[in-house]
């Protein structure tokens, strides 16, 4: 989604068909937690640092920018199904969208110094920009807001530098730290923040968000995407834009088969690793890991504790390995096929064990 007349800045997680939080005029869901933050600001008891926790893609960063707009005096729109919506022709909205509002700084993973692409972490130099920002804006009235998105990406030096600012916050400063995984943050950072817990969106808010972003889905398509998106608008928009439903259905069919069709799987991976299909490939990986997670849960519910534990361990190992592969730009086809091969091997091992157990029971 784009707003006419606004040339929004780029970030490391920009995807076709998925609006950036700083250019998204509406926030869907999260009514209670957003109202809590708004009330804190209006009552004069605004904590200087908020930890906005919850799964990735559900709207935490969108809520952070909505709060920045509200505190900056942006005009809102009434009579909307969203929790809050802003006029896109408002000067504050447009300044935030292009990164030029004097009282706001957005800290995220920076671009590499040479070539194209982005760093894999938020560096200490990015956090040092905060010190310069607060010093340069010391004389202005109103809030001075820093959005760290996500704080999970801070490297150790950057986290320690941020901690010093949180320990002695500048006057009228507000830190909004987007956080997907609480365990990724220093405990000392968490202890200095007020926690705002964000939950996945319900089906109604998901449908309203999909309709607002104008993908023209019919009721059946929307229902399928909402069911598959696990309360994440970002994931739903990726599914709608990059063929994620079809990829997921094909992948489930291939992985659930008694005999794995390796050639068909390789053909699918070949298509998804073509240039320009990066988002579709990411959906494939998410579907692959999601299948492993569901298989672990299925085995647990069936009382097969060893199989459940083995699939859970596989999910942990492959999640870490695939994240490292993406960070170091390793061969995507090999990474995907290795994960699938390990899943097939695990399934075969437990199938063989069950057959042996059945044979032993027959002989007894």
Lookup result for tokens 């007349």: 5
What is the phi-psi region of residue 57: left when phi exceeds 0, alpha when psi lies from -120 to 50, beta otherwise? left
Residue among 86, 63, 104, 90 nearest 5 (CA): 90
CA 31 to chain centre: 19
Q: pLDDT class for 109, splitting at 50, 70, 90?
A: very high
CATH number for the domain that contains residue 32: 3.40.50.300
Same domain (yes/no): 159, 64 = yes
> What is the pLDDT averaged over residues 97-103?
95
For residues 86 and 75, the answer to whether their CB atoms sit within 8 Å is yes
Lookup result for tokens 């504050």: 92
Residue 138: predicted pLDDT:
76
Residue among 180, 181, 200, 148 nearest 30 (CA): 200
The domain of 49 spans: 21-197
CA distance 60 to 57: 7
- Asked, for residue 321, whether it belongs to a domain, the answer is yes
Residue 362 reports pLDDT greater than 60: no
Same domain (yes/no): 304, 161 = no
Query: What percentage of the chain has pLDDT greater than the value 70?
Result: 96
Q: pLDDT class for 363, splitting at 50, 70, 90?
A: very low
- Asked, for residue 157, whether it belongs to a domain, the answer is yes
Most confidently modeled range among 4-8, 150-154, 320-324: 150-154
* Confidence (pTM): 0.82
Same domain (yes/no): 182, 287 = no
CA 198 to chain centre: 12
Label residues 128-155 b or e (16+ Cβ within 10 Å = b). Answer: eebeebbeebeeeeebbbbbbbbbbbbb
Distances (CA, A) of 165 to 137, 141, 192: 15, 20, 10
Residue 2: predicted pLDDT:
58
- Asked, for residue 5, whether it belongs to a domain, the answer is no
- Asked, for residue 225, whether it belongs to a domain, the answer is no
- Span 172-231, pLDDT tens digits: 899 999 999 888 899 999 999 999 999 999 999 999 999 888 667 888 888 989 998 989
Q: Total domain count for the chain?
A: 2
């Amino acid at each position: 989604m784009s707003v006419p007349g606004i040339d929004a800045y780029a970030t490391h997680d920009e995807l076709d068909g998925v609006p950036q939080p700083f250019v998204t005029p509406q926030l869907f869901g999260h009514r209670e937690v957003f109202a809590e933050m708004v009330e804190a600001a209006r009552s004069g008891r605004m904590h200087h640092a908020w930890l906005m926790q919850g799964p990735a893609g559900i709207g935490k960063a969108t809520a952070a920018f909505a709060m920045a707009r509200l505190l900056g005096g942006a005009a809102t729109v009434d009579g909307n199904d969203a929790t809050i919506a802003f006029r896109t022709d408002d000067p504050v909205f447009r300044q935030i969208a292009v990164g030029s509002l004097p009282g706001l700084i957005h800290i995220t993973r920076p671009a590499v110094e040479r070539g194209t692409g982005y760093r894999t972490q938020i560096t200490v130099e990015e956090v040092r920009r905060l010190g310069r920002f607060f010093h340069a804006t010391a004389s202005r009235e109103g809030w001075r807001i820093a959005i760290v998105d996500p704080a999970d990406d801070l490297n150790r030096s950057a986290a320690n530098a941020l901690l010093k600012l949180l320990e002695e916050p500048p006057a009228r400063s507000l830190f909004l730290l987007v956080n997907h995984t609480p365990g990724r943050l220093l405990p000392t950072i968490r202890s200095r923040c007020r926690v705002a817990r964000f939950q996945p969106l319900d089906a109604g808010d998901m449908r309203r968000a999909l309709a607002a972003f104008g993908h023209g889905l019919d009721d059946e398509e929307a229902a399928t995407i909402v069911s598959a998106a696990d309360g994440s608008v970002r994931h739903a928009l990726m599914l709608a834009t990059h063929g994620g439903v079809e990829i997921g259905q094909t992948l489930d069919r291939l992985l659930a088969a008694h005999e794995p069709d390796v050639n068909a799987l390789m053909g699918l991976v070949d298509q998804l690793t073509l240039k320009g299909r990066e988002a579709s490939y990411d959906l494939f990986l998410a579907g692959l890991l999601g299948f492993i997670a569901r298989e672990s849960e299925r085995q647990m519910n069936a009382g097969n504790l060893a199989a459940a534990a083995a699939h859970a361990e596989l999910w942990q190992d492959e999640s870490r390995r695939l994240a490292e592969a993406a960070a170091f730009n390793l061969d995507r086809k090999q990474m995907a096929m290795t994960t699938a091969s390990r899943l097939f091997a695990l399934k075969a091992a437990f199938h063989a064990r069950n057959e042996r157990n059945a044979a032993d029971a027959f002989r007894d």
